[in-house]
Amino acid sequence: MVYANTGNAAMSAVTLHDLNQRYIRLADRCRSQWTFYQLLQGVFKHLKNSPCPVEIDYPALFTELRSLSDELSDSTVASGSKALNQLAQKVDGLAKRLLEADAAIPPSLLRRFFDRLRHQDEKVVLAIIKFYLESAQRTPDLFDKLDILFTRLAELPGSDGRSIVRQPHEIERLVKPILELHRPPSTPREEVEILARAVAEIKAEVLAASTFTELVDGGALDRFRSLKRRLGEAILDPALLPVLVDTTITVKNRFRELLEEEESRLLEDTNRVRELEQQLSAHPELVTPELRELLETFMAASHRLDAARREDNLRGTDVLSLRRALNRILELFDATQSFPPPFQLSPTIPEGEPEASATATEPSRQPALPLLAQLPPDPLLHDYLSKIIFALELAGADRSSEEAVQAKELATLRLEPAEVDACRALAAGTVDLGSLVGQRHLLLFQAAALRVRMDEEAKEIDRLQRRGSEKLAEVLERATQSLQRASEMDRRFLWFIEDALYRGDTDQLEPLYRSRFRLLRAYSGLWLIHNARGGISPF
């Protein structure tokens, strides 16, 4: 009798231990669901601009979970098992509701959500991975989302904006407990080795691409994406997962690096096409049906790219479409078209006043030359003065200076209203360039151009430094010239400020101070990065 009781006690102990383990796993599922529910709320609120389609009282669920813990301690094995099964069924139902809501979130939206998070807690990412792995669904979208999450788990932010891959043993430490609970179907070692070599070849091809067009057109990105989709659950293989996430992060870094270079070229070529459109508006006889169609294609591609940027969902094909449209227009234009003398910033003639006659001598009615031709030669700033003039021409003369600086054509230049007024006055010939007012306008115009140049040089130095490019020394040398010019220009600002104070012309103080301080901010930013990257001090 004693032996029988001892055997029954041992069997009960094993069963209670099993119930305890089941309870621990159920509690972990509830925590994963709660984390996933918070993710859904964030995605629907911030990216879909709508309330989360499911509403679940998880605090009440956790209260029920704690009550079950007390019940398991006091109840029999049979009653405890029944209560545990009932709560598990409830949790299964909640998981189903969460997955139904998740079906409305494509993988790209999940990626965008994590891109916007400045700080990513690895415990949160692990909890979301657990939730997906517990699902009985095995759809391509689910594996795409797991791919995104494992990549987030395996990467660390670098100081230069790039991502750094964790060491393999760190990745294994993070994912091993999950994969032990959710073991994927075993993949033969020979097949894993073949797949790893295929991934390595794709990685090498991506790194070898020298331009963004070559990267996207080469097909390596599409092949890698297709390979991961075909793998399905095999992406969870402990031997293959580190290889996949390492290559994914490498692809991301190379994509961003080449995209950054391409975007600067796109901006330059887009400005050329905008100038072409401006010139064609004055010479409609030169617009052929082919050119008109190309310009419409360019506009459509440009709008798609702008929309993708606003939605943080930029795809390589969007960039490539715009690049191809630009190339076709510029090739056709360079091969077949020529125009009369270059555009000039049109002077604004007050409404109701007659236009100047050919014999008029008043300066305000005789802007006989384009603006740059009227100014002293300035090789250092010529391109940037032209950029401002062109942007003002696109923005139109019908806007006030306060409105013009906010126009999309000018917004990226971040001009001051007084600088816009100065440029317009010089173009209209309403001031004598040799007068005090004319020189003050010229200073404001040149200061704006130099500020744009210095901001661009600071960004370029940082980009080339991150790439280890040999062109860095050349840009540092150009930046030295900009710093020298900024120092000279600051002395001119101080002279005009002192003169305005002496004359009591206080209306001119704020525009001068604003332009000067904007120049000094650009100067200090460039000087710091120029100095840190080994540039030769101009002093």
Q: Which residues pair with 163 in a beta bridge?
A: 157
Averaged pLDDT, 392-417: 83
pLDDT in tens, 185-238: 778 889 989 999 999 999 999 999 989 999 998 899 999 999 998 888 888 888
pLDDT in tens, 107-126: 989 988 888 776 678 889 99
| In the predicted structure, residue 409 carries a pLDDT above the cut 80 | no
Q: Rounded distance, CA 539 to CA 536, Å?
A: 9
Of the given ranges (189-198, 253-262, 340-349, 427-436), which has the lowest mean pLDDT?
340-349
What is the residue extent of each domain of the chain?
1-105, 258-336, 369-532
Q: No. of H helices and E strands in the chain?
A: 21, 2
pLDDT in tens, 249-262: 999 999 988 888 88
Rg value, the chain, Cα: 33
SS3 165: strand
Token pair for residue 52?
């989360």
Q: Rounded distance, CA 233 to CA 230, Å?
A: 9
What pLDDT score does 118 carry?
60
Confidence label for 350 from pLDDT (cuts 50, 70 and 90): very low
- Backbone phi and psi for residue 229, each to the nearest 5 degrees, phi listed first: -70, -40
| In the predicted structure, residue 293 carries a pLDDT above the cut 70 | yes
Global model pTM greater than 0.75: no
Cβ-in-10-Å burial (0-12, 13-18, 19+) of 189 comes to exposed
Of the given ranges (100-114, 139-153, 260-274), which has the lowest mean pLDDT?
260-274
DSSP 118: S
Give the chain's mean pLDDT: 82
Rounded (10°) CA dihedral 490, 492, 493, 498: 130
Averaged pLDDT, 85-96: 93
Pairs from 45-53 (Cβ < 8 Å, separation ≥ 24): 46/113, 46/116, 47/109, 47/112, 47/113, 48/104, 48/105, 48/109, 52/101, 53/100, 53/101, 53/104
Percent of the chain, pLDDT > 90? 32
Confidence label for 361 from pLDDT (cuts 50, 70 and 90): very low
| In the predicted structure, residue 175 carries a pLDDT above the cut 90 | no
